[in-house]
Chain A
Amino acid sequence: MSQSEVLLRGREITRRWGGLVALNGVSLDLERGTVHAVIGTNGAGKSTLINILSGEIPPSSGQVELLGQDVTNWSQPKRARAGLGRSYQRNTIYPSFTVFENCRLAAQARVQKPWAWWRDAQRCEVSTAAARAAATRAGLDDLLERPAGLLSHGQKRQLEIAMCLATAPQVLLLDEPLAGMGAEETERMLKLLAELKASHAILLVEHDMDAVFRIADCITVMVNGAVIASGTPDFVRNSADVRVAYLGEH
Chain B
Amino acid sequence: MVCSRPAKGEINDMKKSKFLFVALALAALALWPLMAGQYGVDLVTKIMIFAIFALSLELLVGSTGLVCFGQAAFFGIGAYATVLLTPQDGAPSLLWLLPACVLAAAFYALLVGALSLRTKGVYFIMVTLAFAQMAYYVVHDTPLGGGTDGIYLLSKPVLGTLLDLDKPLVFYGFTLACLAGVFGFLALLLRSRFGRALAGIRVNEQRMRATGFSTYPYKLAAFVISGGLAGLAGFLFAVKDGFVNPELISWHLSGEVLIMIILGGLGHLRGALIGAFAFALLQEFFKSEAIFGEFSKHWHLGLGLSIIACVALLPRGLVGVPEQLAARLRGRLTGARGTGTTEVGNESV
A, B bound: yes
Instruction: Give A31-74 as 1s and 0s: 1 = Cβ < 8 Å from B's Cβ atoms.
Output: 00000000000000000000000101000000000000000000
Q: Does B162 contact A (CB under 8 A)?
A: no
Q: What is the minimal beta-carbon distance from B342 to any residue of chain A, in angstroms?
A: 5
Q: What 8 A-B pairs have minimum CB-CB distances, sorted nearest first? A: A109-B212, A80-B212, A97-B345, A114-B194, A81-B212, A96-B345, A77-B214, A94-B203
Q: Does B344 contact A (CB under 8 A)?
A: yes
Show the binding face of A for B, using Cβ within 8 Å: 54, 56, 75-78, 80-81, 86, 88, 92-98, 101, 104-106, 108-122, 124, 127, 145-147, 149-150, 152, 163, 167
Are A150 and B197 in contact, with the CB atoms below 8 A?
A: no
> With A101-B346, A120-B192 in contact, do A146 and B207 touch (Cβ < 8 Å)?
no
What residues of B have a CB within 8 angstroms of the CB of A149 in the complex? Answer: 342
Name 18 extra pairs, CB < 8 A, besides A76-B209, A80-B209, A94-B345.
Answer: A75-B209, A78-B214, A80-B210, A96-B203, A96-B342, A97-B203, A98-B344, A105-B200, A108-B197, A109-B212, A114-B194, A114-B218, A117-B195, A118-B192, A121-B191, A146-B3, A147-B344, A167-B211
A108 and B195 CA atoms in complex are apart in Å by: 12
Are A94 and B189 in contact, with the CB atoms below 8 A?
A: no
A114 and B195 CA atoms in complex are apart in Å by: 8
What residues of A have a CB within 8 angstroms of the CB of B8 in the complex? Answer: 145
Most A CB contacts (10 A, CB to CB) among B195, B199, B210 go to B210
18 A-B pairs (CB sep. < 8 Å): A56-B209, A81-B212, A86-B210, A88-B210, A95-B342, A96-B345, A101-B196, A101-B345, A101-B346, A111-B193, A116-B193, A116-B194, A117-B188, A121-B192, A147-B345, A150-B3, A163-B207, A167-B212
Most A CB contacts (10 A, CB to CB) among B8, B192, B200, B203 go to B192
Instruction: Give B175-216 as 1s and 0s: 1 = Cβ < 8 Å from A's Cβ atoms.
Output: 000000000000011011111110110011011011111110
Instruction: Give B95-135 as 1s and 0s: 1 = Cβ < 8 Å from A's Cβ atoms.
Output: 00000000000000000000000000000000000000000
Give the size category of B's interface with A.
20 to 34
What residues of A have a CB within 8 angstroms of the CB of B199 in the complex? Answer: 94, 97, 105
A120 and B92 CA atoms in complex are apart in Å by: 38
Nearest A residue to B196 via CB reads A121
> With A78-B214, A98-B346, A146-B5 in contact, do A92 and B197 touch (Cβ < 8 Å)?
no
What residues of B have a CB within 8 angstroms of the CB of A121 in the complex? Answer: 191-193, 195-196
Are B211 and A163 in contact, with the CB atoms below 8 A?
A: yes
The residue that B213 contacts in the complex, of A109, A146, A147, A150, with Cβ under 8 A, is A109
What residues of B have a CB within 8 angstroms of the CB of A56 in the complex? Answer: 206, 209-210
A152 and B207 CA atoms in complex are apart in Å by: 20
Show the binding face of B for A, using Cβ within 8 Å: 1, 3, 5, 8, 188-189, 191-197, 199-200, 203-204, 206-207, 209-215, 218, 221, 342-346
What residues of B have a CB within 8 angstroms of the CB of A76 in the complex? Answer: 209-210
What residues of B have a CB within 8 angstroms of the CB of A113 in the complex? Answer: 193
Are B212 and A150 in contact, with the CB atoms below 8 A?
A: no
Are B204 and A94 in contact, with the CB atoms below 8 A?
A: yes
Are B211 and A112 in contact, with the CB atoms below 8 A?
A: no
Nearest B residue to A160 via CB reads B207
Most A CB contacts (10 A, CB to CB) among B196, B207, B212 go to B212
What residues of B have a CB within 8 angstroms of the CB of A104 in the complex? Answer: 196
Nearest A residue to B347 via CB reads A96
Are B344 and A96 in contact, with the CB atoms below 8 A?
A: yes
